[in-house]
Structure formats: C-alpha cells, structure tokens
Amino acid sequence: MTAEISEKAFPLAEDRLAQNILDLVQEASNAKAVKKGANEATKALNRGVADLIVLAGDTNPIEILLHLPLLCEDKNVPYVFVPSKTALGRAAQVSRNVVALAVLQDDKSNFSSKVQAIKLEIERLL
C-alpha cells in the first residue's frame, strides 16, 4: 500500500537526502529536540525555537500542512518534504505516523553541524 505523494509537496527530498533527514530526525529525537505534529511544529515556529521543519509528502489531505511553508518563509526557517509519514514517525521514535515535525535549535548538541549541512542541501533544491 503506497500512498500518493502530493504535487503540492515542494521541495521534496529525494532518496539520499530524505534518508539523511530521517537520520537527523532520529538523532534529534534521541536528544529530545523535536516537536511532533502539525500543531506542535506551528507552535515551535511561532515561538522562534524551530531550526528545521520536516513535512510528510504523502499526507492526506495535504492541505492540513500547507500553512507551515508560509509560516516558515515568514520566519526564515527552512522546510522540506520527505516521501513517507510512516518513515517520519519511525525516525521520530513513535509508533504512529507523523505528518510534520520541528527540529529544535540546540547549539550545544552534536547534530547541529548535520542540521547546517541539510539546510544547505535544502537550499540547493529550491
């Protein structure tokens, strides 16, 4: 059962970049530096603590997420779509699907350099 990836999901990370993003999400989840869900991601953006927003491209309906890219552009926070909400949930270490999550700013973490590298990759997609 493969879900359709919406054509509105832009920028969509391809295989290698998507795997790197999921690895980063797993590291950040281990460090308790993620907020899971569209509402939590919105709150993190509004509070100014989000460093990166990861969205699932196979969310149905995709419209429940489409306020986040607009908010990200207002707050100058990079965002990217990954193909699978199931894989995003597994990377975030929950048993449910995750349609959106925010990686939080954490300067003293050991994954902050990985966040910067992924931000550069996302800018190349645009």
- End-to-end, the C-alpha distance of the chain in Å comes to 30
Q: State yes or no: pLDDT of 107 exceeds 80.
A: no
Q: What is the mean pLDDT of residues 35-48?
A: 95
CA distance 4 to 121: 24
Tell me the pTM.
0.91
Pick the CATH number of 15-125 from 3.40.50.300, 3.30.70.980, 3.30.1490.270, 3.30.1330.30: 3.30.1330.30
Helix (H) or strand (E) holding 113: helix 112-125
Q: Tens digits of per-residue pLDDT, 50-103?
A: 999 999 999 999 999 999 999 999 999 999 999 999 999 999 999 999 999 999
Ordered by start, the domain boundaries in the chain are 15-125
* CB atoms inside a 10 Å sphere around CB 73: 11
8 with 59: CB under 8 angstroms?
no
Q: Tens digits of per-residue pLDDT, 28-40?
A: 999 899 999 999 9
